[in-house]
Amino acid sequence: MRVFYAALFVVLAFAGQASADVAEVYDFATRAEEQRYQQLISELRCPKCQNQNIADSNAPISKDMRDEVYRMMQDGASNDDIVGALVDRFGEFVQYKPPLDKRTIVLWAFPAIATLGGLLVVVGVIWRARRRGGEPALSAEDRARAEQILASQSKSDRQR
Amino acid sequence: MKRVFLFVPLLAALVVGVFLFAGLGKDPTTLESVLVGKPVPEFSLESLDDPDVTLDRSVLEGKVSLLNVWAEWCPSCWDEHEYLSYLAKEQGVRIVGLNYKDQRETAFRFLNRLGNPYDTIIFDPKGTLGFDLGVYGAPETFVIDAEGVVRYRHVGVVNEQVWRQKLLPAMNDARGNG
């Protein structure tokens, strides 16, 4: 058990280390400002490491970007200004949320299109089932044949 | 009528296949520079050679040049240096260096060992100009036209293939005789 606690201690100690690498100490006047900062850096993507946001990334470029976000916030810039300033330098790639414009309209509309398409299929299936509802699933001839097959089947079962 | 619908999945698979195939050859780590077609951002930084000399964007005007972002700590910069020297000496290309997040001492050590192909070197220890240029990993090389407008950006090592296929055409284009 003691070994377990020792191991746990080591793991926790290093876990703390890993996150401490990233977190710089910034002072914020209010709690809301700090949350705004956290929100911003979690929505911006690191150009170097590609699949990390700048909040998680250890890359020097991410640190520069966090510094810039903080500096602009202290200057009273709005979220759009801050994201815009970084997009002007690094391109739209740094935004996890692509802006809604002509090129991205298909991307944004796709969930709605897919849902609508799925609904149409479902409606079509139901509608067809309804229309066919009046007539029996098997014609009289088919039914007679099916009964014959079933009868011979059970006979052979009994003989076994 | 109904048989036509049987081909819908095949058609959908073909469309998706074409899309995915087109994306296959792309290198996801190269990003388009948003600065292409825009002037080099304003800056005011020291010259690496002389702290008393302040450089601004006028060093990149007057002649089509390469702006090469480098640092002593960047391993690929060591790799490409020989080819940059060849371009400067044999091809007469004007190369402006941007010493990025480096120290004077180590930068000089690098140049003393490998030679100096640069016409001028901008010293950017904090990486401020690099940040404004959208530099996300040295080495990066920009083609700048005579008006100081960015024409092309290459991320990674410059070698003969890159020069022939990318930088030279961009430079010819910038010179107006592409």
The ipTM (two decimal places) reads: 0.74
Domain ranges of chain B: 27-175
Q: What pLDDT is attached to residue B71? A: 92
Interatomic CA distance for residues B16 and B19, integer angstroms: 5
**A93, B33: Cβ pair inside 8 Å?**
no
B31 backbone dihedrals φ, ψ, rounded to 5°? -110, 145
Give exposure, B102-127, as e/b (b: 16+ Cβ within 10 Å): beeeebbebbeeeebbbebbbbbbeb
Average pLDDT over residues B139-167: 92
Q: What pLDDT is attached to residue B151? A: 92
Q: What pLDDT is attached to residue B120? A: 93
CATH of the domain spanning B27-175, picked from 3.50.50.60, 2.120.10.30, 3.40.30.10, 3.40.1190.20: 3.40.30.10
Interatomic CA distance for residues A55 and A67, integer angstroms: 11
Q: Which residue of B has its CA nearest to A92?
A: B34
Range of weakest confidence among A15-29, A80-94, B59-73, B137-151: A15-29
**Which among A60, A68, A91 has the least Cβ separation from residue B134?**
A91
Interatomic CA distance for residues A44 and A64, integer angstroms: 12
**Which among A50, A60, A90 has the least Cβ separation from residue B134?**
A90
Chain position carrying tokens 């970007």:
A65
**B31, A91: Cβ pair inside 8 Å?**
yes
A50 and B CB contact within 8 Å: yes
Q: What pLDDT is attached to residue A18? A: 46
pLDDT band at B28 (very low <50, low <70, confident <90, very high): low
**A61, B136: Cβ pair inside 8 Å?**
yes
Over its length of 160 residues, how does chain A's per-residue pLDDT go in tens digits? 566 666 655 555 555 444 444 557 788 888 888 999 999 989 898 888 878 888 888 888 888 899 999 999 988 888 889 999 998 888 888 888 888 888 888 888 999 999 999 999 999 999 988 887 666 677 888 888 988 999 888 777 766 6
Domains of chain A: 2-98 (1.10.8.640), 103-159 (no CATH)
Best CA proximity match to A24, nearest among A51, A53, A75, A58: A58
Average pLDDT of chain B to the nearest whole number: 89
**A89, B127: Cβ pair inside 8 Å?**
no
Q: Among B33, B136, B153, which would you mutate to test the A interface (most chain A Cβ atoms within 10 Å of its Cβ)?
A: B136
Q: What pLDDT is attached to residue B55? A: 93
**A64, B131: Cβ pair inside 8 Å?**
yes
A93 and B CB contact within 8 Å: yes
**A90, B34: Cβ pair inside 8 Å?**
yes
More confident residue, B132 or A99: B132
Strands B54-55 and B65-70: unpaired
Best CA proximity match to B83, nearest among B71, B68, B98: B68
Q: What pLDDT is attached to residue A100? A: 83
Q: Among A54, A64, A82, A121, which would you mutate to test the B interface (most chain B Cβ atoms within 10 Å of its Cβ)?
A: A64
- Residue A26 is given by DSSP the state -
Instruction: Report yes or no: B40 and B133 within 8 Å, Cβ to Cβ.
Output: yes
Nearest chain A Cα distance for residue B102, angstroms: 13
Q: What pLDDT is attached to residue A101? A: 82
Chain position carrying tokens 């240029």:
B133
Nearest chain A Cα distance for residue B135, angstroms: 8
A22 and B CB contact within 8 Å: no
Q: Which residue of A has its CA nearest to B137?
A: A48
CA dihedral A60, B139, B70, B127 (to 10 degrees): -30
Q: What pLDDT is attached to residue A111? A: 94
Q: What pLDDT is attached to residue A16? A: 47
Give the model confidence (pLDDT) of B82-129 as tens digits. Answer: 999 999 999 999 999 999 999 999 999 999 999 999 999 999 999 899
A47 and B CB contact within 8 Å: yes
Q: What pLDDT is attached to residue B70? A: 93
Q: What pLDDT is attached to residue A82? A: 92
Give exposure, B60-77, as e/b (b: 16+ Cβ within 10 Å): bbeebbbbbbbbbebeeb
Q: What pLDDT is attached to residue A130? A: 84
